[in-house]
A and B are shown apart, each in its own frame.
Chain A
Amino acid sequence: MTSRNINFKHRVAVVSAGMTLFRSKMLETPQELAWLAARQALDEAGLTLKDIDCVVIGSAPDAFDGVHMKGEYLAEGAGGIHKPTIRVYVGGATGVFVPIAAWWHVASGLCKKVLVVAEEKMSHAAKPHPQYVFRYIWDPIVEKPLNPNLIWIFAMEMHRYMYKCGVKKEDIALVSVKNKRNACGHPSAQLCMPNITVDDVLKSEVLVWPVQLLDISPTSDGAVALVLASEEEARRITDTPVWIKGVGWTLDTTHWTNRDLAYPEYVRRAAEMAYRMAGIDNPRKQIDVAEPYDPFDYKELHHMEGLGLARKCEAPVLTREGVTQRDGDLPINPSGGLLGVGNPIAAAGLMKVAEIFWQVRGEAGARQVKKPVYTGLAQAWGDLMQAGTVIVMGI
């Protein structure tokens, strides 16, 4: 059975966005980070907490913040006091999933104004490095005894993609260079590198071959918030609401070892769901700007192909030709992405949605892409190379 997917009673708009700096070892508590972002979003919309009906929180593993039932803990910082507050979770893909969940809060007609908050505080998580948290994400019987590291499996995926598509490290490094340069236009960015070159990436420390230090996004602390509203409320709040046109997500099997590592089928299906809802049949032409998830540089290429923004193995070619630059025909990650702005997991995903909001409104300042933006897309990825979440927004 397929759902009806047409003629929703309630249109849903994003009316404001706010975010903190993305930095390593921020001194604020997770609650404080959440509130800094929430307060910005509320102020921008001219609202107070009294105006908010429901709160949707996103945050990745509890182990990062070191708090069990992190949603309960974050509720207060996210403004979820004496309100229906919920935390949704799809690992790294959570950031884009939070506004998806908030979408049905409004589309159901049960909430009119929803505060959406994503927060992550990674840098204090574990010694010697937050990576340690990822030791406990594996199948406890089959995989955990091998003590795998998350970068190992992504190295396998990167390798596989390079092999299948005949891509060189130099081509992939172009993504890192583009995004870290783009980040210089972002006031919250953690890793603005205006003079970075492909050579710098290729000469950076090898972590797990072929993954090198500058292929990876940093560990970060930060929070991002949006306000979503029903059509009636949105028109009262702003003259330029940005409509949520399509939502989609897919979770593949837990058994990542059985997956085609060269192509993210789960992202394709998530995108299909969102495109069907948004009435998009040719994403390459109909999407003006996209923020695919880029925790590693090869993932931007991988996800462009999964999203149908490039044909299989075509993304490195588009990148080399400059199509994905801010002034290109298909700007990809004009914000600077996770590689440049930083990667506080759930907050990083929501940062991408906020970027599309600002791009569609023409408010992205130095990051504003050259071509006119009518429709944009944000996507995130998570779990064991398993989850894809996609949101399509536009005027």
Chain B
Amino acid sequence: MRVGIAGVGWFGFQPEVVDYSFREMMFKAAQRAYEDAGGLDPRRDVDAFISCQEDFWEGISIADEFAPDPVGGAMKAVYTVTGDGLQCVGQAYMMIKSGLFDVVVVESHGKPSDVVTLNEVMFTATDPVSLRPLGLENVHALAALEARAYMARYGVEEEHLEAVVEKAHKAGVKNPRAAYASPGRSRASTPTVVDPLKEADIAKFVDAAAVVVLASDRVVRDFTDAPVWVDGVWWSTEISTLEYHDWAFPHHAREAADGAYIQAKIADPAKEVGFAEVDNRYSFKELQHIEALRLAPRGQAKELLADGAFCPGGRLPVNLSGGALAEGVPFEVHGLARLSYAVAVMRGDFKAEVDRRDVAVVHSWRGVPTTTSVVAVLRL
């Protein structure tokens, strides 16, 4: 059984959504997704709903309580996954493949502008016994350690990070929701946050909500004439103890990608994939993830990127949207942001310089201090 995307909707992608509560943002995104799915009625047509969110991001304990109403799910099968939106897509994919569900709605929302103590919140995700007592004043330091390890092992220089940043902002200009795209900005002129990461290397946060409607091949054409198929989705957690994870290479992304490629029967992703949307919430992460997704051999993403292979119009465009560097990180919505952009490009809703729109790979990572990645393969 195949699983298709019947509709996508998003709202926000503004640094600060002041006039809508998180529930209203969910509602708006859901409304747009249902409209996109041919005017689907959530009360009648949907079998189950999944919300991807984390309590501490919400500032509400058991934030799951607020999931049903805005998406039309009250008194229906609704649950929460505390993970990236793409993990919810993975759950929906499994649910539909089980045969018990035909239409599953995936929702995620994030309102970082509401969080006053972001660094502290992120830091409480570290191990309370081994790492938290160190009292890191800037949680990006963990990413900086990874950046140093990666750069040292694979000979990546700051100029390569510069190229990633430049590409992201240039591409982001064509993305209608890339609030942070600023192509004229030079990375070198931004202040160092945690060496080697400069301000321009670190994606900012953004408020957003996104909703995706998934349906089995049996019913998907009731909602859309042109479904985008999810042919594989997999995720992996490397380890919880940060001290023991590989600082130089994201094995979680590699494992997630391999799982998704097996399902989608992709043997040589660098040849078979038309374009990719990967996590670049830190500039060096884009290079890492390109390699982890087998779109470039290990350590060679930097040169291929410098040669333009991953630029819009290149051999295998990566982050036509500009990625998180241009759009921002909307907490757990990030995976759905990558997915919805890829879907829009595949359907031709967004104009993009890409030769092959038929196969896309989408990736999200949950950010420091996690070692979890999700990868989905989409086909037209």
Residues of A within 8 A of B (CB): 1-10, 29, 31, 60-63, 66-77, 80-91, 97, 101, 103-105, 107-110, 133-134, 136-137, 139-140, 247-255, 265-266, 269, 273, 277, 382-384, 386-387
| B353 part of interface (Cβ distance < 8 Å) | no
| B77 part of interface (Cβ distance < 8 Å) | yes
Q: Which of A84, A108, A133 contacts B61 (CB 8 A)?
A: A133
| B263 part of interface (Cβ distance < 8 Å) | yes
Contact B65 A386 (CB under 8 A): yes
Task: Point out the residues of chain B lying under 8 angstroms from A383, CB to CB.
Answer: 62, 64-65
Beyond known contacts A87-B81, A89-B80, A253-B68: 13 more, CB 8 A cutoff: A6-B99, A62-B54, A72-B369, A73-B240, A85-B236, A89-B64, A89-B82, A104-B94, A108-B93, A248-B77, A251-B77, A253-B75, A254-B69
CB distance from B16 to the nearest CB of A (A): 18
Q: A82-B238, A82-B255, A109-B97 are in contact. Are A137 and B60 (CB under 8 A)?
A: yes
Contact B55 A62 (CB under 8 A): yes
Give chain B interface residues in 84-109, CB to chain A under 8 Å: 87, 90-91, 93-95, 97-103
Q: Which residue on B lies nearest to A57, using beta carbons?
A: B82
A139 to B59, CA, bound (A): 11
A135 to B369, CA, bound (A): 27
Q: Interface-forming stretch among B123-131, B146-154, B269-277? A: B123-131
Identify 7 residue pairs between A and B in the complex whose beta-carbon atoms are under 8 Å apart, listed by A's number. A6-B99, A9-B99, A86-B81, A139-B66, A249-B77, A386-B68, A387-B64
Q: Which of A3, A73, A84, A91 contacts B102 (CB 8 A)?
A: A3
Contact A84 B238 (CB under 8 A): no
Q: A88-B81, A91-B62, A383-B64 are in contact. Are A277 and B100 (CB under 8 A)?
A: yes
| B247 part of interface (Cβ distance < 8 Å) | no
Task: Point out the residues of chain A lying under 8 angstroms from B59, CB to CB.
Answer: 136, 140
Q: Which residue on B lies nearest to A7, using beta carbons?
A: B99
Q: Which of A66, A71, A107, A109 contacts B100 (CB 8 A)?
A: A107
Q: Which 4 A/B pairs are nearest by Cβ-Cβ distance? A: A76-B240, A107-B98, A108-B97, A251-B78
A54 to B121, CA, bound (A): 28
A107 to B101, CA, bound (A): 12
Task: Point out the residues of chain A lying under 8 angstroms from B97, CB to CB.
Answer: 104, 107-110
A345 to B29, CA, bound (A): 32
Contact A86 B47 (CB under 8 A): no
A246 to B239, CA, bound (A): 33
A12 to B59, CA, bound (A): 37
Task: Point out the residues of chain A lying under 8 angstroms from B302, CB to CB.
Answer: none
Contact A81 B238 (CB under 8 A): yes
Q: A88-B80, A103-B98 are in contact. Are A134 and B69 (CB under 8 A)?
A: no
Q: Which residue on A lies nearest to B54, using beta carbons?
A: A69
Contact B64 A75 (CB under 8 A): no
A160 to B59, CA, bound (A): 31
Contact A68 B54 (CB under 8 A): yes
A363 to B75, CA, bound (A): 36
Q: Which residue on A lies nearest to B239, using beta carbons?
A: A81
Q: How many chain B residues touch A (Cβ–Cβ < 8 Å)?
A: 67
Task: Point out the residues of chain A lying under 8 angstroms from B369, CB to CB.
Answer: 72
Task: Point out the residues of chain B lying under 8 angstroms from A108, CB to CB.
Answer: 93-95, 97-98
Task: Point out the residues of chain A lying under 8 angstroms from B91, CB to CB.
Answer: 86, 88, 101, 104
A286 to B254, CA, bound (A): 48
CB distance from A286 to the nearest CB of B (A): 20
Q: Which residue on B lies nearest to A78, using beta carbons?
A: B240
A72 to B100, CA, bound (A): 28
A86 to B68, CA, bound (A): 20
Contact A63 B64 (CB under 8 A): no
CB distance from A63 to the nearest CB of B (A): 5
Residue among A68, A71, A139 having the largest count of chain B Cβ atoms under 10 Å:
A68
Contact B61 A81 (CB under 8 A): no
Task: Point out the residues of chain A lying under 8 angstroms from B78, CB to CB.
Answer: 250-251
Task: Point out the residues of chain B lying under 8 angstroms from A68, CB to CB.
Answer: 54-56, 121-122, 124-125
Contact B235 A86 (CB under 8 A): yes
Contact B366 A72 (CB under 8 A): yes
Contact A384 B65 (CB under 8 A): yes
| B312 part of interface (Cβ distance < 8 Å) | no
A83 to B263, CA, bound (A): 16
A72 to B238, CA, bound (A): 10
Task: Point out the residues of chain A lying under 8 angstroms from B124, CB to CB.
Answer: 66-68
| B350 part of interface (Cβ distance < 8 Å) | no
Contact B69 A74 (CB under 8 A): no
CB distance from A249 to the nearest CB of B (A): 6
Task: Point out the residues of chain B lying under 8 angstroms from A76, CB to CB.
Answer: 239-241
Q: Which residue on B lies nearest to A97, using beta carbons?
A: B79
Q: A76-B240, A81-B239, A253-B74 are in contact. Are A8 and B62 (CB under 8 A)?
A: no
Contact A70 B65 (CB under 8 A): no
Q: Which of B82, B101, B255 contacts A71 (CB 8 A)?
A: B82
Q: Which residue on A lies nearest to B3, using beta carbons?
A: A108
Contact A251 B61 (CB under 8 A): no
Contact A29 B129 (CB under 8 A): yes
Contact A107 B99 (CB under 8 A): yes
| B227 part of interface (Cβ distance < 8 Å) | no
Contact B100 A137 (CB under 8 A): no
Q: Which of B55, B67, B219, B239 contacts A1 (CB 8 A)?
A: B219
Task: Point out the residues of chain A lying under 8 angstroms from B45, CB to CB.
Answer: 1
A88 to B99, CA, bound (A): 20
Q: Which residue on A lies nearest to B241, using beta carbons?
A: A76
Q: A62-B56, A76-B239, A273-B77 are in contact. Are A1 and B47 (CB under 8 A)?
A: yes
Contact A84 B82 (CB under 8 A): no
Task: Point out the residues of chain A lying under 8 angstroms from B77, CB to CB.
Answer: 248-251, 273
